[in-house]
Amino acid sequence: MLKKILGRRGKADSYPGGLNGHGLDSARLSIGPDGVHETRVYRTGSTNKAPGERLSGRLLGVAGVLIFGALVGAGFVGYEAQRLFALLHNHTDATPTAADQVRAVIIAALPDVGWVAMALVALVAALRGQSSLRARIGVMVFFGLSLGAQILYAPHTIEGMLVAVIAPVTMAWMLESYIVEVRRRVAAQRGLDIDETPILSMVLALLGRLIRLPFGLPLWLLRLCLDRKGTWAGARQWVLDVAPIAPGRTLASIRAAEAEAIASSAKLTAEQVREAAREQVDALQEAHASELRKIAEARAAEAAARLQESQQEREEHARLIKQLQAEARASVARTESEAQRTIEGYAGRLQDTEHQLRGLSERLRRAEADSDRLRQVETLLKERTSELGAVRAELKLVTDQATPRVRLAALYERLRLSGDHRYRDRGAVPELARSWFLEIGVQSEGTARKYLHEYLDELGVPGASVQEGAYT
């Protein structure tokens, strides 16, 4: 199978046709010598763009608007410098004539018109997904002319040169970068594998290499001194790789083309191998299905034989079942008569039970009524408890803010509320004074006894009061 595929590979590779600049994976099918060759290419995909793709497109549009505004301003600056430069160097008389003025305007406008036209051509190519290298080179040429005119017209100082290059370099970099990004976006949308590098980036890379040359050359000379043979061999190989064998062709480019051809051939071979593998898998699946069908037929015949045997067994079982049914019917008749007698006995018991249930229902209703009243009492008790807690909290707040005499009176009244036998008993005053004098905030027990005797006098409790000297 693989030999047959590899044999067809040469015929497929000899097909000269292509699609979008790429070779087809297989040759077209020929109908006949006078037939019609038809190739249909279908492209399917979702029309819904991802949010990131829509956002990048909008940002690219905003960048285009900003670049357009910058190009208008830079173009005006460049045009004016070019006109003054042309007017300065394009007349022979002491003062320029009207014809000199016209020629200066035309010469100054040519580079700007040129780069605008080339920019439009590059954008058209980019939007079509094609290479815009030629148009971008034209843009760079016209920018170079504009840059040269502005540098030559500017004052020959570092500041003057810097001011002269700002506008052309800004225009060139922004416009080329925008064209390349538009080209990449279109290539990504159409699935094209073509990429472009900005020309100015390549120029900067070349300048970077030239800057590194003074540093790399001494190192190369040092290596040449240390390893003459190896260094010369490396230089020889580099020259053979880079130097053109023919116009536009180098050894490195030829090797790259060969590697690309080998990769393309390997890809085609892999696709053909996958197709052959799929065919082999289909054949194996078909053989396996045939084997399964044979096994199924054998099992079906075996099942039919077992079914016939089971049919005979079922007939024997049916006869036994009929006999058992007759015996069961007789047993059921006896059971029904016994059940009837049992039901009649249970009916009397059921009536007694119903009377008992009605009595229990009446008791349950009375219990539910008592339960409702109990819940009401419990709710009322909770409300009174909460009110009592609030009153106690208010009383504590008032007590904490009152004088020691008032606090002592409040503590004494608690004895009455709790039913303490020491209430209205002058003999218990010393004991109560020892217990409360720190709590009410006085310095001595005698002061507490004095307050208690005075409060008992106010209550009208009989008994002798203690003299003033007893409180010290």
pLDDT at 24 (0 to 100) = 42
Check if the beta carbon of residue 305 is closer than 8 Å to that of residue 41.
no
Higher-pLDDT residue of 307 and 111 is 307
CA distance 352 to 360: 13
What is the pLDDT of the chain when averaged over all its residues? Answer: 75
Q: Which of 457, 456, 423, 454 is nearest to 468 (CA)?
A: 454
Q: Hey, what's the torsion of the CAs at 242, 244, 249, 255, to 10 degrees?
A: -40
- Under the banding of pLDDT at 50, 70 and 90, the label for residue 127 is confident
Contact residues for 402 (Cβ-Cβ < 8 A; gap 6+): 410
Q: Beta partners for 19? A: 22
- Determine the residue type at 163: V
Confidence check: pLDDT of 323 > 80: yes
- Determine the residue type at 36: V
CA distance 24 to 65: 40
pTM for the full model? 0.35
What does the pLDDT average to over 97-109? 77
Q: Render pLDDT for 394-428 as a digit per residue (tens, 0 to 9).
A: 666 665 667 888 888 888 888 888 888 888 888 88
Confidence check: pLDDT of 300 > 80: yes
What does the pLDDT average to over 187-214? 71
CA distance 393 to 400: 10
pLDDT at 385 (0 to 100) = 74
- Under the banding of pLDDT at 50, 70 and 90, the label for residue 148 is confident
CA distance 418 to 467: 30
- Determine the residue type at 343: I
Confidence check: pLDDT of 446 > 70: yes
Q: Render pLDDT for 241-296 as a digit per residue (tens, 0 to 9).
A: 777 777 767 767 777 778 878 888 888 888 888 888 888 888 888 888 888 988 98
Give residue 21's region: left, alpha or beta (phi > 0; psi -120 to 50).
left
Check if the beta carbon of residue 150 is closer than 8 Å to that of residue 82.
yes
pLDDT at 111 (0 to 100) = 79
pLDDT at 91 (0 to 100) = 65
CA distance 77 to 414: 102
Check if the beta carbon of residue 431 is closer than 8 Å to that of residue 422.
yes
pLDDT at 10 (0 to 100) = 46
Higher-pLDDT residue of 406 and 27 is 406
Higher-pLDDT residue of 302 and 254 is 302
What does the pLDDT average to over 30-38? 48
Question: Which whole-number Å values give the CA distances from 161 to 58, 143, 173, 287, in the listed order?
Answer: 37, 16, 18, 83
**What value does the CA radius of gyration of the chain take, rounded to a whole number of Å?**
57
* Cα-to-chain-centroid distance, residue 71: 38
Higher-pLDDT residue of 261 and 194 is 261
**Residue 265: HSE in the Cβ half-sphere, 13 Å Cα cutoff:** 13
φ and ψ at 50, to 5 degrees? Answer: -70, 155
pLDDT at 6 (0 to 100) = 45
Handedness of CA 349, 350, 356, 360 (dihedral sign): positive
CA distance 186 to 57: 10
Out of 86-100, 203-217, 234-248, 253-267, which region has the weakest mean confidence (pLDDT)? Answer: 86-100
Where would I find the H helices in 128-227?
133-153, 158-190, 199-226
Out of 32-36, 245-249, 290-294, 329-333, which region has the weakest mean confidence (pLDDT)? Answer: 32-36
Out of 60-64, 65-69, 130-134, which region has the weakest mean confidence (pLDDT)? Answer: 130-134
Out of 51-55, 324-328, 402-406, 440-444, which region has the weakest mean confidence (pLDDT)? Answer: 51-55
Q: Which of 45, 20, 17 is nearest to 30 (CA)?
A: 17
Both structure tokens of 70 = 């910058």
Question: Which whole-number Å values give the CA distances from 157 to 85, 145, 153, 161, 391, in the listed order?
Answer: 17, 20, 11, 6, 97
pLDDT at 295 (0 to 100) = 92
Q: By three-state DSSP, how is residue 182 classified? A: helix
* Cα-to-chain-centroid distance, residue 155: 56
CA distance 269 to 371: 93
Q: Render pLDDT for 5-20 as a digit per residue (tens, 0 to 9).
A: 444 444 444 444 444 4
CA distance 371 to 32: 105
Higher-pLDDT residue of 425 and 54 is 425
Q: By three-state DSSP, how is residue 246 classified? A: strand
Both structure tokens of 437 = 């004098």
CA distance 52 to 184: 15
